[in-house]
Amino acid sequence: MARLKTRLRIRVQRRYVAWLACLTLPSILISFVWNYGAKYPRLVQPTDASGQPRSANSPAEGAPMKHIPGGSFRLLEEKGADPGTPVQVAPFWIDVTEVTVERYALCVNAGRCTPPRERWDTCNWRRRESRGKHPVNCVDWLQANTYCTWVAKRLPTEEEWEFAGRGTDGRLYPWGAEAPDQRVCLKRGVSTATLRNEGGTCPVDLFSRDLSPFGVLGMAGNVKEWTSSVTILPGNLRARVLRGGGWNVDLLSPAPTVRIIEREMLTEAAYAADLGFRCASDKLVERKEAAPKR
């Protein structure tokens, strides 16, 4: 009988302890969370310009940008040949130069961008240690779009790109009507052996006279640039518009194809040694940039 009473007493005590824990434990947890939250504020996931989550280790890109005031102009106008299409562009910001190899490398090092192709000798990623100031090339549209999103920007539309390159007066080149001799990164008919030694592109700030009326560099030569604009090719094939001229001009071309109205359409998976990009934004993106990893 004594043993039975002892067992009953133990069971009652255990139930009492369990009941007391159920009452007090929530209060303890609430108090802890309240005090912890006051001392250590909740971290907020960074977002890009569209409100989408952005990697916390996204670089403070810091690429210089120019403000484009917006206005009306005639898209693809060629005086005496094509009247173009009247369009209206809202104010925006655009990178002064194409995205460089060293800036793109930041995104690759962070695990957010995939490396550019290295198919040809003229793909700058092959010699990225010595070509950091060259435009990143051999990238497809998806890679370009991923990078711009990562730095809280976007690719420019075709209309924005052309307006930033020529303004409102219908000029043939970014700088005006003068011939492009010695003004742009252009290597017409260069031999394969020479390309291996010199490479195709030039540093993005080398040709300071390849300058638009708004102060944007390199919109005539160096690399053609991806835009966000969509077009449909024969066979209902979806493609993206590229604008501007590139360094690689065929010997059979009657004239250097570096006019501001140069236009090409390629599928999003296409890439080449004379294709690159720059980013745009609806607002100025200014952040201190981290040094690229070696």
At residue 219, the pLDDT reads 92
If you ran DSSP here, which 8-state letter would residue 177 be given? S
Copy the structure tokens of residue 233: 């090719």
pLDDT digits over 65-96, tens only?
Answer: 999 998 988 888 776 677 788 899 999 999 99
Q: Which of 29-38, 59-68, 85-94, 193-202 has the lowest mean pLDDT?
A: 29-38
Which stretches of 151-189 are DSSP H helices?
Answer: 158-166
Considering Cα of 214, then 215, then 221, then 223, what sign does the dihedral take? negative
* Strand (E) or helix (H) holding 248: strand 248-249
Averaged pLDDT, 249-273: 78
159: phi then psi, degrees, rounded to nearest 5: -65, -40
Pick the residue with more confidence: 4 or 277? 277
Q: Where are the beta strands (DSSP E) in 24-136?
A: 65-68, 71-75, 85-89, 92-95
Residue 199: which region, alpha, beta or left (left: phi > 0; alpha: psi -120 to 50)? left
Distance CA 145, CA 44 (A): 24
pLDDT of residue 261: 86
SS3 category, 202: coil
Q: What does R_g of the chain's alpha carbons equal in angstroms?
A: 29
Kindly give the pairing relationship between strand 248-249 and strand 187-188: parallel
Confidence of residue 181 (pLDDT cuts 50, 70, 90): confident
**What percent of the chain is modeled with pLDDT above 70?**
68
Cα separations (Å) of 55 from 14, 76, 105, 151, 287? 50, 38, 15, 9, 15
Mean pLDDT of the chain: 77
The answer to whether residues 286 and 59 touch, using CB atoms and an 8 Å cutoff, is no
Determine the average pLDDT of the residues in 228-240. Answer: 92
d(CA 155, CA 141): 10
φ and ψ of 147, to 5 deg: -60, -50
